[in-house]
A and B are shown apart, each in its own frame.
Chain A
Amino acid sequence: LAKTTQPPSMEAYEGQEVNVSCSHTNIATSEYIYWYRQVPHQGPQFIIQGYKDYVVNEVASLFISADRKLSTLSLPWVSLRDAAVYYCIVTDIDTNTGKLTFGDGTVLTVKP
C-alpha cells in the first residue's frame, strides 16, 4: 500500500480557497485515492475520491497529477465549519475489504 505524505497543518481565512496536497510517490496502478475529513468530536466523513485527472463534487474538487504521485484537494470558499483534519488515503481497488489506512492528516485552521 502506498504511503501518503501531507502537510501537518494549514491555515486559511474564511472565504479563501484552500488546497491540501498529498504525496503518494509509490502509488500502484490498482490503488485509488480518497479524502476524508474529521471535525472535532465526530467520526471521519467522506469528501471525494478519484483515480486520475480531475474529479469534482458539490463539496470539493480533486486534482491528480498525470503520474498519480500527487493529489490536491481543493476547497473553495472555506468557512469556519471547514476547520477539520483532512486525511488523504490510498487504497487498493483490487481488494474487497474496504480497509482504510489513515495517516495523521492535515489540520486545517480557518480564521474569521
Chain B
Amino acid sequence: EAAVTQSPRNKVTVTGGNVTLSCRQTNSHNYMYWYRQDTGHGLRLIHYSYGAGNLQIGDVPDGYKATRTTQEDFFLLLELASPSQTSLYFCASSDTGGARDTQYFGPGTRLLVL
C-alpha cells in the first residue's frame, strides 16, 4: 500500500498569514495532487504535478501556490490566507497519472483561517 503522509495535521492561522502544507510519498510515484474538501462536499483539485519541478493547474487554484521539490515532496503554499481557505486538505499520489491508475491519499490537514 502506498504511503502518503501530510504535515501538519492541524493548523490555525490568521487572515493574511502565510501557511505551508507538506506532503511526502514514499512509493516513487510520479504524480502528486493537492485537493481541498469543504464540509459535506467532495474533493476539489487545487494543483498537481507529474515530477520534480513540474506544476499543473487544477480546478480551484486561486489563492494557492504549490511546489514539487523532489519526487517525494509536494508543498502547498497559502501566502495570504483568507477565511475562505478554511478547509480540509488532502494530498494524493499515483504512479502514472493514467486514468486507470489508482490515487493514494494522505490523512489530511485541517486548516482554520481566523
Binding site for B on A (CB under 8 A): 32, 41-46, 49, 87, 91-105
- Find chain B residues with CB under 8 A from A45 CB: 105
Given contacts A43-B105, A97-B97, A101-B45, 5 further A-B contacts (CB under 8 A): A41-B107, A96-B96, A97-B56, A98-B99, A105-B42
DSSP majority for the A interface?
Answer: loop
- Find chain A residues with CB under 8 A from B48 CB: 97-99
- Residue in contact with A93 in the complex, picked from B35, B50, B98, CB distance below 8 Å: B98
Considering the complex, give the chain A residue whose CB is closest to the CB of B31: A98
- Residue in contact with A43 in the complex, picked from B31, B58, B92, B101, CB distance below 8 Å: B92
A-B contact count (CB 8 A): 70
- Residue in contact with B42 in the complex, picked from A95, A97, A102, CB distance below 8 Å: A102
DSSP majority for the B interface?
Answer: loop
Distance in Å: Cβ of A13 to nearest Cβ of chain B: 25
- Residue in contact with B107 in the complex, picked from A43, A96, A97, A101, CB distance below 8 Å: A43
- Residue in contact with B103 in the complex, picked from A42, A92, A94, A98, CB distance below 8 Å: A98
Considering the complex, give the chain B residue whose CB is closest to the CB of A30: B99
Cβ contact within 8 Å between B90 and A99: no
Q: CA–CA, A97 to B45, complex, Å? A: 12
- Find chain A residues with CB under 8 A from B108 CB: 41-43
Considering the complex, give the chain B residue whose CB is closest to the CB of A42: B107
Residues 76-114 of chain B, each 1 if its beta carbon lies under 8 Å from chain A, else 0 = 000000000000001010101111111111111000000
Cβ contact within 8 Å between B90 and A49: no
Considering the complex, give the chain B residue whose CB is closest to the CB of A32: B99
Among A32, A43, A98, A100, chain B packs the most CB atoms within 10 A around the CB of A98
- Find chain A residues with CB under 8 A from B44 CB: 102
- Residue in contact with A100 in the complex, picked from B4, B41, B45, B50, CB distance below 8 Å: B45
Distance in Å: Cβ of A15 to nearest Cβ of chain B: 27
